[in-house]
């Protein structure tokens, strides 16, 4: 399915990407800590399974993804939207399966 169709059909996806872009990094960190901390929504389940996520390297990677991924998604979506529709049609005639 072309990115053009995905981004036009999924409004909540766009809203989630925008909200992650406008959050200050401190608020994003607090949100992640409240969600994945020992007493957080998901962190409680992880703690019950003896998985410690807060203040680990995995938590740093997750925070970087949370902050950086919306920028990448927005840039990639704009790039895919700029692809000429005739090029997509040509690709389909040449055997593109999507």
The tens digit of pLDDT for each residue in 8-60 reads 656 666 666 667 777 788 888 888 999 999 888 899 898 889 998 889 999 99
* C-alpha count within 13 angstroms, C-beta hemisphere, residue 33: 7
Point out the least confidently predicted range of 2-6, 39-43, 68-72, 81-85.
2-6
List, in sequence order, the alpha helices (H) in the chain.
3-9, 11-22, 25-36, 43-48, 57-81, 85-93
* CB crowding 21-43: b at 16 or more within 10 Å, else e: eebeeeeeeeebbeebbeebeeb
- Ranking 3-12, 53-62, 72-81 by mean pLDDT, the lowest is 3-12
């Amino acid at each position: 399915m072309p990115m053009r169709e995905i981004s036009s059909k999924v409004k909540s996806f766009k809203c989630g990407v925008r909200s992650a872009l406008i959050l200050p990094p401190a608020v994003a960190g607090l949100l992640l800590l409240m969600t994945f901390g020992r007493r957080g929504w998901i962190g409680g389940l992880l703690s019950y399974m003896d998985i410690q996520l807060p203040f680990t390297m995995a938590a740093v990677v997750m925070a970087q993804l949370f902050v950086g991924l919306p920028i990448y998604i927005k840039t990639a979506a704009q790039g895919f939207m700029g692809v000429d529709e005739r090029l997509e049609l040509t690709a389909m005639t040449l055997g593109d399966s999507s």
